[in-house]
Amino acid sequence: MGTRAAAFTAKIRNLNDFHTRLLHGVVPAPSGLDIANTLKYFSQTLLGVLREIQERPVDMLRHRDQDTIRLALFPNLDYAGLHQSIVALVDIMPLIQYGTQAFGQAMLNTLACLVLFLERKVIDTLPYLVASMMTSIPESLHQQLITILCYHILPVTVGAPAVEGEEENYAAASVPAVLMMIFQYTDNSAYHCQLLECLMSLKSDIAKDLLCVIAYGTPTSRSPAANLLFYYWPSLNPTLYDRRGIHIKFSGWKPLLCQIEECDGDGTSEAVKVCFDHAVCLGACPENPPPLFLCIDCAEEIRREHSTVEFFDILMPMAQVSATCENKVKQIFFFVWKMLYYCDIVFCYT
Ligand SMILES: [Zn+2]
């Protein structure tokens, strides 16, 4: 066993030791900072491993049929063991007395790094795992949790197209639970909107997942689910008479900011492009897990240095949803769509 593999396994034992001490109340109990420092070792080691890879694993992660090729690229470290230790720590998060902020940050960052190295059946459980952290992380980390979910986890799980012959996968099936968890543990409508708009860009029948929350969710989660359903699908509730009791205002979510430190916008420019080339990502931002999100000026700057690198558009906040459609052709389309939609709901829920 190589030195790096041995050190990696020894550090996993440290994590397991922290878990046991917290679980059984052994004094002195480890603080969140102790665990965060160990987790930082893992995120740095994983990014170090990634630097040595010539191929494009970040691209491959979005394609389920390339999993075998992706996993063959990495050296033999105990990635599954690290994942198991992280899952165990998520369960005992409420027992951590001090340093929960540092712990939560390190945990989310490590998961964003680790996702590349895991098997598909484990990756598909990550949306639920990250959403379940919502129950115990400090409120100041809610935005980071939603960002990791929407930009690092959901696009490679719910957004990765199913392979031929595969029935619904775990990630897609866990979407109602993820929605419920977020609706339940934060009442910030900007987070609700960001999560839902992200899922709408990745999954076709997201209205059915909302209906699932409305039908089977907790009392707290049902109300935002119903409001969001009528907000994003106003044609379900088209007349002023139907909407008379609804006075919900949705504040738009804030787009991600450019991740380049030397950005001319001084941390105020909105990111509009994403880069999946990990060599470019880690060259520009050595501490951040890829992919890299950047403003148009920084994207142009990088393109001048690396002419072959590709950039892709990212999801921006949806503009105000119009309750009534101004376009006659669209009105006919919505009428037909609505009829089909109702037929579908009746068919699926009877
Ligand atoms: Zn920039």
Q: Which of 18-27, 308-317, 319-328 has the lowest mean pLDDT?
A: 319-328
Q: What is the DSSP string of 245-293?
A: T----PPPPPPPBP--TT-TTTT-SBP-EEE--HHHHHHH-TTSPSSEE
Between the CA of 280 and the centroid of ligand 1 the distance, in Å, is 14
Q: What is the pLDDT of residue 86?
A: 97
Between the CA of 284 and the centroid of ligand 1 the distance, in Å, is 11
- Helix, strand, coil proportions of the chain in percent (round to 5)? 60, 5, 35
Write down the domain spans for the chain: 1-145, 255-319
pLDDT tens for residues 269-288? 999 999 999 999 999 999 99
pLDDT tens for residues 73-107? 999 999 999 999 999 999 999 999 999 999 999 99
Between the CA of 88 and the centroid of ligand 1 the distance, in Å, is 37
Let me know: does 252 contact 190? Beta carbons within 8 Å.
yes
Task: Indicate whether 195 pLDDT > 80.
Answer: yes
Determine the Cα–Cα distance for residues 118 and 77; give it in Å rounded to an integer.
11
Between the CA of 158 and the centroid of ligand 1 the distance, in Å, is 28
Average pLDDT, the chain: 89
Determine the Cα–Cα distance for residues 68 and 77; give it in Å rounded to an integer.
16
Between the CA of 297 and the centroid of ligand 1 the distance, in Å, is 6
Between the CA of 314 and the centroid of ligand 1 the distance, in Å, is 14
Between the CA of 125 and the centroid of ligand 1 the distance, in Å, is 33
Would strands 292-294 and 312-313 be described as parallel, antiparallel, or unpaired? unpaired
Q: What is the pLDDT of residue 240?
A: 66
Task: Indicate whether 30 pLDDT > 90.
Answer: yes
Between the CA of 270 and the centroid of ligand 1 the distance, in Å, is 8
Between the CA of 263 and the centroid of ligand 1 the distance, in Å, is 4
Q: What is the DSSP string of 176-204?
A: HHHHHHHHHH---HHHHHHHHHHHHHH-T
Between the CA of 147 and the centroid of ligand 1 the distance, in Å, is 18
Between the CA of 8 and the centroid of ligand 1 the distance, in Å, is 35
Task: Indicate whether 329 pLDDT > 60.
Answer: no
